[in-house]
Homo-oligomer: A and B are copies of this chain.
Amino acid sequence: METMGRHVIAELWECDFDKLNDMPFIEQTFVDAALRSGAEVREVAFHKFAPQGVSGVVIISESHLTIHSFPEHGYASIDVYTCGDLDPTIAAKYIAEALGAKSRQMAELPRGMGPVAVPEPSASPV
């Protein structure tokens, strides 16, 4: 298996409070996002914090998707990392829309190609 991968760092702001605090919804959204990207889901682990917030991961054959949500700030911190021919932006955009993010910044880092390359991030309205 080749080491090369694409890692999307997504900062989602002005998201819907209730969605950011709904663990079953987030878990289903992440599994759906992985499947829409063509990924194979291997492990799913989510955790609900008190009084609010959700953290979780979907391990896929092609790497992972993670979230940390902060409903009180309307913020979700997302990573979508894929190897092979998959496009991580498909999942990242699907998640941003599902969480009702009114603003987002995304940066894509190549992984497994030697030194860490850090391109300029892009900001775009949903």
Contact = CB atoms under 8 A, between A and B. Distances in A.
B107 A118 contact: yes
A116 B3 contact: no
A9 interface: yes
A50 B41 CA distance: 15
Q: Interface residue tally of chain A, by bracket?
A: 35 or more
Interface string A57-88: 10101011010101011010101010100000
B112 A121 contact: no
A116 B105 contact: yes
A83 B79 CA distance: 15
A25 to B, nearest CB: 18
A70 B11 contact: no
